[in-house]
Structure formats: C-alpha cells, structure tokens
Amino acid sequence: MAIFKLFAPAMNKTKLLSCEELLDIFSTSHIATAIYTTDDLVIEAATQAMLSFWGRSRDIVGLPLEVAVPELKGQPFAQQMKSALATGITFSAKGVAAQLMHNGKLNTFYYDYEYRPVKNADGDIICLLHHATDVTERVLGEMALANEEQQRQILERELALNEELSAANEELAAINEELHQTQTELNTLNDELEERIQVVP
C-alpha cells in the first residue's frame, strides 16, 4: 500500500497528448501501419516501416494512396480497402504478392496484411487502419521448397520410367535373341531342305 502512495502523485502529473503528438509517436512504430480516410484512401498517417515498404518519404502523407504509390493502380489492394470501408468488415490476407517500386525498379514482394475499419462511439466508420508484414523471405522459401518437392517428384517419375524402359529393353533384347535363334534354326532347316531337294532325282 505504501508503494502505491509513493507512485500515485507521479501518475497524476501525466498530461493528455495532443493529436499531433500521438501521430508523431505513432509514426515511430516499427510495425508497418497506415491510417486512411475517405473513399479516395487519403493517407492520414503512416509509420516509417510502411513508408519503407512503399519506398516513399513522409511527404506523401495527405495524398490519396494511388497518387502517393501509383504502381498500386491495377492491383487489388485499393478495392479491398474501399470494400472494408464500405462494409465495416475487416479484410485480411496472407502471402499476397505486391508490385512496388524500389530503387527505380518494380519488384515483387509478399505481404500478410489487414484492413480494419475503425468506428467512433456512434458506430460510424472514421478511418481504415492498415497493418502489413513483409513475408517475402517466407513465401520465397515456401516456393523454393514446393519447387524442390515438384522436382523430386519429377525425378522419381523419370527414374520409374527409366526402370520401366530398361525392363522393356531387356524384354526386347530377349525377344530379339529368340528371334535370332529362330531365324538361325529356320536358315538351317532351309539349307537342309535345299540339300534334300538337290539329292532327290
């Protein structure tokens, strides 16, 4: 009880943070997160981690997403976000490919992500909260393993086919040997018949 009394006065000195201070704190998060408003998906805030995913600087805050990151046009993300905003239903996906510009080159990355509509006390949707995790290494690793497994199965099929062909070749060789012996026997019989025909007056 004495410990609580000791720290209680310090807790009372906590001040409420301003909206700007909260956004500044939010932007330092190591988790890739962005906040959007309106049907145009205006970027209200983005953490440095999210900006790094996009390969953009903080000056895109305040712009619609597809203006700030134009390579996203034609990809499914904006439509998924708009759907989440319209329905109020959280949308999430795992291991989805995204084409993003990095160092002047369009590259494919893979993400787990969630679009969560945020409601006010009246139940109205006020913004969309977007979390993302870069899972490119995981997905490429899974693809490599799947490819390796596929190659293993192909190799096993080829080995099985080679064994079947080898067995078939052995059978053909045996049949050829039998045919050769039969041909030799027929030639011998033919020669004997010709000799008998010549002996007969």
What are the tens digits of pLDDT across the range 71-113?
999 999 999 999 999 999 999 999 999 999 888 899 999 999 9
**Mean pLDDT score across all residues of the chain:** 86
Is the model's pLDDT at 133 over the cut of 50? yes
Q: What whole-number percentage of the chain has pLDDT above 70?
A: 92
Residue 2 inside a domain? The answer is: no
- Rounded to two decimals, the pTM is 0.66
Residue 15 CB: number of other CB atoms within 10 A? 6
CATH code where residue 74 lies: 3.30.450.20
List, in order, residues 6 or more apart from 52 with CB less than 8 Å away: 32
In a domain, 173, yes or no: no
Residue 130 has pLDDT above 60, yes or no: yes
pLDDT (tens digit, 9 = 90+) per residue, 162-184? 888 888 888 888 888 888 888 88
pLDDT of residue 4: 46
Distance, in Å, from the CA atom of 92 to the CA atom of 114, rounded to the nearest integer, reads 4
Residue 25 has pLDDT above 80, yes or no: no
pLDDT bracket for residue 63 (50, 70, 90): very high
Residue 100 structural domain: 17-134
Check: CB of residue 97 under 8 Å from CB of residue 110.
yes
**Structural domain includes residue 200:** no
Number of separate domains in the chain: 1
**Cα torsion angle, 17, 18, 24, 28, sign:** positive
Please report whether residue 167 resides in a domain.
Answer: no
